[in-house]
């Protein structure tokens, strides 16, 4: 495009659409909550069980780019992937536009890129900037330590109701939980833009003991890191302490949150930064040691090593009543050390990991060869159920893989193939296609052997375990207008061997459709339908063995977000769920809630609140709903039963340095007098939680 014509087009865009991209119209915290909700809720719905998952890393990187927007005139593919807003097709279109026409002249010019809808632009403008400046200021680590930003978080939370775990069954016996019900969280981090950071995180979970006479005292979780990035052209990064690794499409290792089945139907590719500093409180998903990344022209090399003790379910095996050897059956990963049994398994096994990745990067091509070796100081013996028959026990696991990304015109190809030491194979092959300015298409094929073993895999699959699955996914985004679009996906899979929930080879499928209408500074409305059909075990009183039943889970959601004015937003949702968990049992339910988000621009005081009513017959029909919470704390409850739930978050910015946040949440059930079970059981129909957090930034 000739420069004069390009300048004229940009001028017309500013006149026509410029007011919709003015900064400061949308509260940044609420915007990040919207992004997190859109990613996290579908992720939880697709889990095989209700596992604890930590999303702090995802929120961390959003806040980092919010404070220091990325320059789109110098950003590469991985930099843009790190933001987590754009699909790889959108990133490819952006890079191709920049390659053909040169640097962007203004942020308004992003509106000319194909596949960029109005909502994407409104979100992206907070995380990127357009400038021709090149930051070539070279500071030493000591100078970056002096000139960066510091943040300190102090948090306390507690459930006021007494759980069984804190009660003594007899005056002579101790309570099952060793500690008190308080939860403490302390975090310090120093950060200089994207280049240098160091920090410390401590946490004590409810029920854990903080102080113990005669022994080392303090929180049992302590995480620390030092991270240096892009220090020279040769040294791309150096990580010391705790860090996370993400390789390829997750067949070997992938920490944090990647593409998955969601309303973002074409956001299916794993990507982003290979090594990140670890700042979360999930006690199982990080490495401890050192990692280094080097660049030699178009070639890049990553090496990493780790050694740390992890919780393990230990097995005592007696041999001829003479010798006792310690084995372990699993790595629980909950990080809880409340009861005697949990404390016995604490730091039960040492895992050592070494790995390397060698790659080639060109403008439209990226190739990587990856290898990882993990060893344990005790023998791993998984449970003996039939679905584990092909899992080879031992003290070590080795993996090697090859992954690639290739861009050709409007095609974006990517994939990874991996091998494990027992001969197991795994393959993921994906393709993103921009069919036109209005239609994007995503396809993904996976084939994972029943004998495949990974060290810390996290790939795009239906199963939570990366093993025993074949499938194909098709997703599409159709832009009907700049203000409305349709997201669709269909996923078909099979498990050629037995699985945890089915004692036979099975098949399944899932469909989703979501229509969205969006008006800047006014409203966003959508209706979504999802149907999952999955095989599972069931048994009647007359059966001697399990039968297989093809169950279903259908959900319909309607949501309306209305921006009343610059300070007040109202959000309404109603969602219905219907499941068939056996041929004779169906469960249904619904949830309806009202959110109020009041965040005046000129006032230091703001609040968010929700009132929800739910009536859901069984846990099988549960509905997840993301809740606004205090910073770096997540609340994503699974609603089931009958009752009401409400919460109130208040945030007060005391001055430029200090911010105080308070949260009160409460659930009142109408269908029970006892909540939960075991040591978590509460005698009554009310469960509450109080949180308070003080944040200092200087």
Digit-coded pLDDT (tens) for 214-270: 555 567 889 999 999 888 889 999 999 999 999 999 999 988 666 678 888 998 998
Please return the burial class of 467, using the count of CB atoms within 10 Å of its CB with bins 0-12, 13-18 and 19+. Answer: buried
Pairing of strands 70-71, 196-204: unpaired
Task: Identify the top-confidence range among 6-10, 73-77, 395-399, 434-438.
Answer: 395-399
8 A C-beta contact, residue 564 and residue 582: no
Please check the confidence at residue 347 and state whether its pLDDT lies above 90: no
3-class SS of residue 139: coil
pLDDT score of 353: 96
Interval 560-589 mean pLDDT: 92
Q: Which pLDDT does position 14 carry in this prediction?
A: 47
pLDDT greater than 50 at residue 50: no
pLDDT value of position 23: 41
pLDDT value of position 21? 45
Highest mean pLDDT among 24-38, 138-152, 453-467: 453-467
- When comparing pLDDT for 31 and 354, which is higher? 354
pLDDT of residue 134: 53
pLDDT in tens, 363-398: 889 999 999 999 999 988 888 788 888 887 789 999
Between 383 and 429, the higher pLDDT residue: 429
pLDDT, tens digit (0-9, with 9 covering 90-100), for 159-218 = 999 999 999 877 777 889 989 999 999 999 998 877 899 999 999 999 998 876 555 556
Q: Is the pLDDT of residue 85 over 80?
A: no
Mean predicted confidence (pLDDT) in 610-621: 95
Alpha carbons 672 and 682: distance in angstroms, whole number:
11
Q: How many residues does the chain have?
A: 698
Decide which of 322 and 274 is more confident.
Answer: 274
Predicted confidence band of residue 401 (pLDDT cuts 50, 70, 90): very high
Q: Using an 8 Å Cβ cutoff, are 469 and 251 in contact?
A: no
From 44-48, 401-405, 504-508, the region with the lowest mean pLDDT: 44-48
b/e burial code for range 149-163 (CB count within 10 A of at least 16 → b): eebbbebebbbeeeb
Contact 392, 422 (CB under 8 A): yes
Least confident interval from 5-19, 437-451, 557-571: 5-19
Q: What is the pLDDT of residue 1?
A: 56
What pLDDT, on the 0 to 100 scale, is given for residue 141?
81
545: tokens are 């063995």
Measure the CA–CA gap between 25 and 610, rounded to whole angstroms: 23
350 has a pLDDT exceeding 50: yes
> Could you give the CA distance from residue 121 to residue 110 in angstroms, rounded to a whole number?
7
What is the model's pLDDT at position 201?
A: 93
Whether the per-residue pLDDT at 101 is higher than 90: the answer is no
Averaged pLDDT score across all residues of the chain: 85
Higher pLDDT, 113 or 251: 251
| Residue 323 clears pLDDT 70, i.e. is over it | no
Q: Which helix (H) or strand (E) holds 246?
A: none
Q: Supply the pTM of this predicted model.
A: 0.87
- Local confidence band at 20 (pLDDT 50, 70, 90 cut-offs): very low
pLDDT in the model for residue 482: 81
Q: Where is pLDDT greater, at 688 or 102?
A: 688
Q: Which of 15-19, 92-96, 625-629, 690-694 has the highest mean pLDDT?
A: 690-694
Average pLDDT of span 99-122 = 79
Has residue 26 got a pLDDT over 50? Answer: no
Three-state secondary structure call for residue 583 = coil
Could you tell me the CA-to-CA distances from 400 to 129, 197, 382, 466 in Å, in that order? 39, 31, 22, 15
């Amino acid at each position: 495009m000739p420069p004069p014509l390009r300048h004229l087009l940009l001028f017309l865009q500013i006149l026509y659409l410029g007011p919709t991209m003015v900064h400061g119209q949308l509260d940044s915290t609420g915007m990040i909550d919207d992004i997190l909700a859109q990613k996290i809720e579908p992720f939880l719905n697709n889990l095989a069980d209700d596992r604890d998952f930590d999303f702090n890393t995802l929120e961390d990187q959003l806040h980092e780019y919010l404070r220091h927007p990325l320059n789109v005139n110098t950003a590469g593919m991985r930099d843009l992937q790190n933001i987590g807003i754009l699909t790889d097709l959108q990133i490819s279109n952006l890079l191709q536009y920049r390659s053909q026409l040169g640097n962007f002249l203004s942020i308004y010019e992003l509106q000319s890129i194909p596949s960029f809808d109005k909502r994407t632009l409104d979100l992206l403008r907070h995380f990127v900037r357009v400038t021709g400046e090149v930051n070539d200021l070279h500071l030493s680590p000591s100078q970056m330590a002096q000139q960066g930003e510091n943040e300190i978080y102090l948090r306390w939370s507690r459930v006021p109701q007494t759980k069984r775990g804190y009660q003594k069954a007899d005056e002579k016996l101790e309570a099952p939980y060793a500690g008190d019900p308080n939860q403490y969280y302390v975090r310090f981090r120093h950060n200089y833009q994207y280049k240098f950071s160091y920090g410390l995180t401590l946490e004590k979970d409810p029920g854990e003991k903080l102080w113990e006479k005669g022994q080392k005292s303090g929180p049992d979780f302590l995480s620390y890191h030092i991270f240096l990035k892009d220090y020279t052209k040769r040294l791309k990064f150096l990580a010391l302490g705790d860090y996370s690794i993400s390789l390829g499409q997750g067949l070997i290792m992938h920490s944090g949150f990647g593409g998955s089945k969601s309303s973002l139907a074409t956001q299916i590719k794993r990507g982003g930064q290979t090594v990140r500093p670890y700042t979360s409180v999930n006690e199982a998903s990080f490495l401890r040691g050192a990692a280094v990344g080097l660049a030699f022209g178009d070639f890049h090399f990553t090496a990493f090593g780790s050694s740390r003790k992890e919780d393990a379910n230990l097995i005592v095996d007696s041999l001829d009543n003479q010798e006792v050897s310690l084995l372990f059956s699993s790595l629980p990963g909950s990080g809880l050390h409340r009861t005697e049994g949990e404390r016995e398994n604490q730091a039960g096994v040492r895992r050592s990991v070494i790995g390397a990745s060698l790659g080639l990067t060109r403008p439209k091509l990226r190739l990587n060869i990856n290898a990882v070796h993990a060893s344990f100081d005790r023998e791993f013996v998984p449970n003996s159920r039939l679905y584990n028959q092909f899992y080879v026990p031992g003290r070590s696991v080795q993996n090697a893989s090859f992954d690639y990304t290739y861009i050709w015109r409007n095609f974006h190809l990517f994939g990874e193939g991996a091998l494990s030491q027992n001969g197991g194979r795994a393959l993921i092959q994906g393709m993103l296609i921009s069919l036109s300015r209005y239609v994007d298409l995503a396809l993904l094929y996976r084939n994972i052997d029943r004998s495949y073993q990974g060290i810390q895999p996290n790939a795009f699959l239906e199963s939570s375990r990366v093993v025993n699955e074949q499938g194909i996914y098709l997703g599409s985004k159709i832009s009907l207008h700049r203000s409305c679009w349709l997201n669709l996906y269909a996923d078909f899979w099979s498990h050629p061997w037995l699985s945890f929930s089915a004692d036979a080879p099975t098949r399944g499928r899932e469909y989703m459709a979501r229509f969205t209408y969006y008006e800047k500074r006014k409203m966003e409305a959508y209706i979504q339908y999802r149907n999952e059909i999955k095989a599972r075990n069931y048994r009647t009183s007359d059966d001697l063995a399990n039968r297989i039943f093809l169950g279903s889970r259908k959900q319909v959601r309607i949501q309306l977000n209305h921006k009343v004015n610059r300070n007040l937003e109202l959000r309404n949702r109603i969602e219905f769920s219907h499941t068939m968990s056996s041929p004779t049992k169906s469960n249904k339910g619904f949830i309806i809630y009202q959110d109020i988000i009041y965040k005046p621009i000129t006032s230091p005081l703001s609040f968010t609140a929700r009132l929800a009513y739910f009536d859901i017959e069984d846990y099988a029909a549960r509905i997840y709903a993301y809740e606004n919470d205090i910073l770096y704390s997540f609340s994503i409850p699974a609603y089931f039963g009958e009752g009401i739930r409400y919460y109130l978050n208040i945030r007060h910015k005391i001055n430029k340095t200090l911010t105080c946040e308070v949260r009160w949440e409460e659930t009142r059930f109408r269908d029970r007098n006892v909540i939960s079970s075991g040591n978590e059981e509460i005698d009554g129909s009310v469960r509450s939680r109080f949180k308070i957090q003080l944040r200092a930034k200087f």
